[in-house]
Structure 1
Amino acid sequence: MTDTSSGVLLDIHTSALAGMGSMPRHFERWAALAADESHPDADLGEELFRSLLIGGDDALAALWGRHLTAWDFAENPQWGAGSPARTDERRAVVYERLRFGSELCKLLDEAVPVAKVPGATVITREFTPWYTPERAAARSFYWTAYERKLRDKGWSEAAIASLDQASLAVVERLADPEQPAARQAKGLVVGYVQSGKTANFTGVAAKAIDAGYRLVIVLGGTLNLLRAQTQRRLDMELIGQENILRGADVTDVDSLVGVDYVGDDEDWSEFVRHGGRPSTLGAFDIERLTTRDNDYKSLAQGIRALEFEKRVPTRPLHDSANLHHTAARILVVKKNKAVLTKLVKDLKQIHGILGELPTLIIDDESDQASVNTSNPKKWEEGRIERTAINGLISKLLGLLPRAQYVGYTATPFANVFIDPGDEENIFPQDFLISLPRPSGYMGVQDFHDLDGVDDGETEGGAEKKHVRGIYDSAGDRLQEALDAFVLTGALKLYRADHGTPDGPFRHHTMLVHESVRMAEHTALALRINTMWHNASYTGSQGHARLASLFEKDFRTHAASSLPTPTTYADLKPYVFEARRLINKGGTPVIVVNGASERDYSQPDLDFDRTPNVWKILVGGTKLSRGFTVEGLTITYYRRTTQQADTLMQMGRWFGFRPGYRDLVRLYIGREETLGRGRNARTVDLYEAFEAICRDEELFRTELARYAPMVNGRPQVTPAQIPPLVAQHLPWVKPSARNKMFNAQLVEVRSPGVWEEPTAYPEDPHALRHNTECWEPVFEALSDTSVSLGVDGGPQYEARVGTMSHQDLLTVLCDLRWSVPGQFSPHLEFLLDAGREDGTIDDWVVIAPTQTSARRNEARILGHGPFSLARRKRRRGPLFGAIRDPKHVAAVTRLAGASHLAGNAAVEELVRPRRGALVLYPVVESEPRILSDGSVDPRDLVMAFAFVAPPSTARGDRALVRFRAIDSTRAEAAIIDRDDTSA
Structure 2
Amino acid sequence: MTTMDQKAFDTVLSMAQKLLIMNSTSAGNAITPAMIETQLDMLATIMPTQFAVIDREALVEELIRRASQSVGSNATLKDGGDHIDWLNAERKKDWHYWRRYSEYMETKIPWKALDALDGATDEVLSQLEDPKREGAWDRRGLVVGHVQSGKTGNYTGLICKAADAGYKIIIVLAGLHNNLRAQTQIRLDEGFLGFATLANVENLPPVGVGLIDTDHSMQPNYATNRSENGDFNKKQASSLGVSPEQRPWLFVVKKNKTVLERLLFWIRNRAANWTDPETGRKIVTNLPLLVIDDEADHGSVDTGENVVDEFGAPDEEHNPTVINRLIRSILHHFARKAYVGYTATPFANIFIHDKGTTTEHGPDLFPASFITSLAAPSNYIGPGRVFGSSSALPEELPLVRALAEADYAPWMPQKHKNGYRPTWKSEARIPDSMEEAVRSFLLACAVRKLRGQGAKHASMLIHVSRFTSVQGEVVRQVEDYVRTLRGRFARGIDLAETEALMRSDYENRFLPGMERIRAQLIPDEQLADFTWEQLREVLPDIISDVKVREINGTAKDALDYVENETTGLKVIAVGGDKLARGLTLEGLCTSYFLRTARMYDTLMQMGRWFGYRDGYLDVCRLYTTHEMIEWFGHIADAAEELRQEFDNMVAAGATPKQFGLRVRSHSVLTVTSRSKMRNARPMHLTFSGDLLQTIVFQPRRQDMQANYAAGEMLLQAMGPALHPEDQQFIPPGGTNWKGHFWRDVSAENVTGFLRAYRTHGASFRVVSPLVADFIDEMNKDGELTNWTVALIGGGEDEHTIAGLTVNKLKRSAVQSEPADRYSIKTLISPRDQAIDLTEAEWLASLDLTRRTWRGDKDRDQDATPPDEPRGTAIRKVLGFGDTERGVAPRRERGLLMLYLLEPKFSKITELEAGPPVLAWAISFPGSPSERRVSNADYMANSVLWGAMNDWVD
Q: Tell me the TM-score normalized by structure 2.
A: 0.67
Give CA deviations for 1:169-210 in whole Å, capped at 9, x if unaligned. Answer: 221222232333312111111111111101111111122222
For residue 439 of structure 1, the aligned residue among 371, 378, 398 is: 378
- In structure 2, the residue matched to 1:192 is 146
- In structure 2, the residue matched to 1:918 is 897
Distance 1:799 1:568, change over 3 A: same
- In structure 2, the residue matched to 1:307 is 243
1:146 paired with 2:85, answer no
- In structure 2, the residue matched to 1:690 is 633
1:888 paired with 2:823, answer no
Distance 1:489 1:192, change over 3 A: same
Distance 1:269 1:528, change over 3 A: closer
| More deviation, 729-738/617-626 | 729-738
CA displacement at 1:605 relative to structure 2:
6.8
Distance 1:473 1:614, change over 3 A: closer
- In structure 1, the residue matched to 2:252 is 332
- In structure 1, the residue matched to 2:543 is 579
Distance 1:476 1:656 in 2: 29
- In structure 1, the residue matched to 2:668 is 729
CA contact (8 A) 2:301 2:324 kept: yes
Distance 2:131 2:682 in 1: 32
- In structure 2, the residue matched to 1:661 is 617
Distance 1:930 1:228, change over 3 A: closer
Distance 1:606 1:619, change over 3 A: farther
- In structure 1, the residue matched to 2:327 is 393
Which residue type is aligned with residue 180 of structure 2? Answer: L
- In structure 2, the residue matched to 1:343 is 263
Distance 1:568 1:374, change over 3 A: same
CA contact (8 A) 2:69 2:377 kept: no
Distance 1:183 1:196, change over 3 A: same
Which residue type is aligned with residue 567 of structure 1? Answer: T
CA displacement at 1:300 relative to structure 2:
4.1
CA displacement at 1:120 relative to structure 2:
1.5
CA contact (8 A) 1:372 1:419 kept: no
SS of 1:629's partner is: coil
Distance 1:514 1:221 in 2: 22
Matches for 1:793-942 after TM superposition, within 5 Å: 798-801=738-741, 803-804=742-743, 806-807=744-745, 811=749, 817-820=768-771, 845-851=790-796, 859=801, 867=808, 883-884=826-827, 887-889=829-831, 892=834, 895=837, 897=842, 918-920=897-899
Distance 2:372 2:777 in 1: 25
Distance 2:158 2:929 in 1: 32
Distance 2:387 2:241 in 1: 51
- In structure 1, the residue matched to 2:73 is 119
Matches for 1:251-650 after TM superposition, within 5 Å: 258-259=201-202, 261-262=204-205, 268=207, 271-278=210-217, 285-293=219-227, 294-298=230-234, 300=236, 305-309=241-245, 326-350=246-270, 351-352=272-273, 354-374=284-304, 387-417=321-351, 424-451=363-390, 460-461=395-396, 463-469=397-403, 476-496=432-452, 503-535=453-485, 536-537=488-489, 538=492, 539-556=495-512, 557-558=514-515, 559=518, 561-582=525-546, 588-594=547-553, 596=554, 599-600=555-556, 602=558, 604=560, 611-650=567-606
CA contact (8 A) 1:796 1:848 kept: no
CA displacement at 1:306 relative to structure 2:
1.9
Distance 1:901 1:690, change over 3 A: closer
SS of 2:293's partner is: strand
Which residue type is aligned with residue 519 of structure 1? Answer: S
1:180 paired with 2:101, answer no
CA contact (8 A) 1:260 1:292 kept: no
- In structure 2, the residue matched to 1:66 is none
Give CA deviations for 1:375-418 in whole Å, capped at 9, x if unaligned. Answer: 9xxxxxxxxx9932222112101211322111111121122226
CA displacement at 1:760 relative to structure 2:
11
Distance 2:390 2:609 in 1: 21
1:780 paired with 2:721, answer yes
Distance 2:544 2:320 in 1: 43
CA contact (8 A) 1:720 1:743 kept: no
Distance 1:946 1:921 in 2: 18
User: Gaps spanning 5+ residues in structure 2: where?
Assistant: 1-17, 44-63, 275-283, 306-318, 358-362, 409-430, 756-767, 847-865, 870-886, 933-953
CA displacement at 1:593 relative to structure 2:
2.0
Distance 2:732 2:624 in 1: 39
CA contact (8 A) 1:624 1:650 kept: yes
CA contact (8 A) 2:97 2:161 kept: yes
CA displacement at 1:419 relative to structure 2:
6.8
CA displacement at 1:162 relative to structure 2:
1.1
Which residue type is aligned with residue 780 of structure 1? Answer: A
Which residue type is aligned with residue 461 of structure 2? Answer: L
Distance 1:207 1:620 in 2: 35
Root-mean-square deviation over aligned CA pairs: 5.3
- In structure 1, the residue matched to 2:765 is none
SS of 2:233's partner is: coil
1:171 paired with 2:139, answer no
Give CA deviations for 1:806-830 in whole Å, capped at 9, x if unaligned. Answer: 3366755776654459976997999
CA displacement at 1:340 relative to structure 2:
1.1
With a CA cutoff of 8 Å and minimum separation of 6, indicate the structure with the bigger relative contact order: 2
SS of 1:368's partner is: coil
Which residue type is aligned with residue 943 of structure 1? Answer: W
CA contact (8 A) 1:188 1:406 kept: yes
CA contact (8 A) 2:169 2:287 kept: yes
Which residue type is aligned with residue 342 of structure 1? Answer: R
Distance 1:648 1:422, change over 3 A: farther
Give CA deviations for 1:923-969 in whole Å, capped at 9, x if unaligned. Answer: 999899999x878xxxx875224598xxxxxxxxxx7636699xxxx
Distance 2:497 2:65 in 1: 52
CA displacement at 1:516 relative to structure 2:
0.9
Distance 2:347 2:617 in 1: 29
Distance 1:155 1:121, change over 3 A: same
| More deviation, 481-490/601-610 | 601-610
Q: Tell me the TM-score normalized by structure 1.
A: 0.65
SS of 1:612's partner is: coil
SS of 1:627's partner is: coil
- In structure 2, the residue matched to 1:707 is 650
CA displacement at 1:650 relative to structure 2:
1.1
Distance 1:548 1:367 in 2: 45
SS of 1:136's partner is: coil
Which residue type is aligned with residue 920 of structure 1? Answer: Y
CA displacement at 1:345 relative to structure 2:
0.8
Distance 1:196 1:131 in 2: 27
Which residue type is aligned with residue 699 of structure 1? Answer: L
CA contact (8 A) 2:686 2:931 kept: no
Distance 1:890 1:770, change over 3 A: closer
CA contact (8 A) 2:460 2:589 kept: yes
Which residue type is aligned with residue 479 of structure 2? Answer: N
Which residue type is aligned with residue 460 of structure 1? Answer: E
- In structure 1, the residue matched to 2:950 is none
CA contact (8 A) 2:368 2:657 kept: yes
For residue 159 of structure 1, the aligned residue among 113, 116, 123 is: 113
Distance 2:287 2:128 in 1: 14
Distance 2:909 2:779 in 1: 33
Which residue type is aligned with residue 146 of structure 1? Answer: Y
CA displacement at 1:58 relative to structure 2:
7.8
Give CA deviations for 1:509-564 in whole Å, capped at 9, x if unaligned. Answer: 21111111222222222322333344444522222111111112232224485553
Alignment: residue pair count: 746
